Amino acid sequence: MIIAVDGPAGSGKSTVCREVAKRLGLRYADTGAMYRTLALASIREKISPSDTNQLIELARRIPLEIHTLTSGRFEIFLAGEKVTETIREPAVNQIVSLIARIPEVRTEMVKRQRALAKSGYLIMEGRDISTVVLPDAEFKFYLDADPSVRAERRWKEDQAKGTVSPLSRVQEDQAKRDEMDRTRDVSPLRVASNAICIDTTGKRVGEVVHIILGKMNVKREKFNAFYAVTRRFLWLLAKAGFGLEIQGAENIPQHGGFIIAANHRSFLDPVVAAIASPRQLTFLARHTLFRNVLFGILIRGLNARPIKRASADRNALRLAAGLIMAGNGILLFPEGTRSADGGFLTPKGGLGYLAVKLGCPVVPMCIKGTFETFPRHAKWPRQGKISVRLGRAVHGDDFGKGIDDGDLYLLIVKEVMRNIEILFSSA
């Protein structure tokens, strides 16, 4: 999934994009930061903003490194130095538009931006993302707001960072940059014909995010009160009884379907996963568990859905796909069954199939301590400590296209298992 967002300075793009990225577990890329870093490098190398040839040469060789994280965080490095904050300085503001209007500079930056977007699952913001950089993006938005509101937002941001320029100066600078961005010959700021326009004047961040998610038709699981109460109760029990410790729950996207992939060693694992996930999960459970009518009603009430092991994977995958597309989070155990000796088993490919076909995030989860507290043939749990670690989501899109589908599914599953094992060794 790729979302392209364009709009003038101060339209709220960055804040909104970071929030959407966080909620959907997407990577976030700020392309303005790339032009800014170039401007910063030119200042440091004492290249005049009018020396086009030197600027083009700089754009071609600049050692830019970009770290995009699914938590909505974005860091940019110039020759190994983190400059994410430095590039917001007034000296950069003053010259960046002059540099961004040089066609050859843009060609170079666009190349890098496309490379960044290659692995997909990303929200990218700028001025020409939906028109030039990623014209095939699945979703395109154009954010705008009253010029005075936009200038005030920038001014407040600057103040918070300790930069003191009068509001009138910020307004003037912004008007100049707007003009340059809109009237330049190459890739001027304009609304793509199929973009959705949102006026953010007077709207809170949450409202704009809500509009975007609504337009994208992103769904979420239905709230289940019985599940919520039971989870709370079990959480207290697990804290008191097993000193349950959870880290990394923020890696679960706040909207849309997703998969939690966990290692499996004990009957306690689904319960522990449910406690650790801030969003309510749906579980695929062996149909024999529903034979006891009362127990069946209980687990159905807790979002368990029966699957037949015998008719195996095709039906289970179909059910899982439907649930994910409807905006649910499901728990899967890539190893298929509980490990008898507490070690890791070879994972199966079904998880990879879902990740690729649905393009949904797969959040790796390691569950440690359940084997010791409740192993396979035990009747009752024993004393012990349980800890859970969740890692950054893995996306089907992260992996090379052109690989044979079957190989790709296994590659993803292996990567997820590798992440689980890394989390396990650090837990």
**Residues near ligand DC (CB under 6 A):** 9, 31-32, 35-36, 96-97, 100, 126-129, 177, 181
Which of 245, 202, 216 lies closest to 23 in space, CA to CA? 216
User: What are the b/e assignments for 218-227, b being 16+ CB within 10 Å?
Assistant: bebbeeeeeb
Distance CA 117, CA 3 (A): 10
CA 392 to chain centroid? 9
CB of 185 to ligand DC, least distance (A): 12
User: What are the b/e assignments for 251-280, b being 16+ CB within 10 Å?
Assistant: bbbbbbbbbbbbbbbbebbbbbbbbbbebb
CB of 102 to ligand DC, least distance (A): 10
Contact between 253 and 361 (Cβ < 8 Å): yes
CB of 121 to ligand DC, least distance (A): 19
Q: For residues 85 and 407, which CB has a smaller minimum distance to ligand DC in the complex?
A: 85
Q: For residues 125 and 397, which CB has a smaller minimum distance to ligand DC in the complex?
A: 125
Distance CA 168, CA 374 (A): 67
Which of 116, 160, 151 lies closest to 134 in space, CA to CA? 116
Q: For residues 104 and 245, which CB has a smaller minimum distance to ligand DC in the complex?
A: 104
What is the enclosing helix (H) or strand (E) of 113?
helix 103-117
Q: For residues 188 and 384, which CB has a smaller minimum distance to ligand DC in the complex?
A: 188
Contact between 365 and 279 (Cβ < 8 Å): no
Distance CA 287, CA 75 (A): 47
Distance CA 178, CA 33 (A): 16
CB of 249 to ligand DC, least distance (A): 31
Q: For residues 96 and 410, which CB has a smaller minimum distance to ligand DC in the complex?
A: 96
CB of 201 to ligand DC, least distance (A): 18
Q: For residues 9 and 218, which CB has a smaller minimum distance to ligand DC in the complex?
A: 9
CB of 324 to ligand DC, least distance (A): 32
Q: For residues 183 and 292, which CB has a smaller minimum distance to ligand DC in the complex?
A: 183
CB of 89 to ligand DC, least distance (A): 12
Which of 52, 7, 35, 39 lies closest to 182 in space, CA to CA? 7
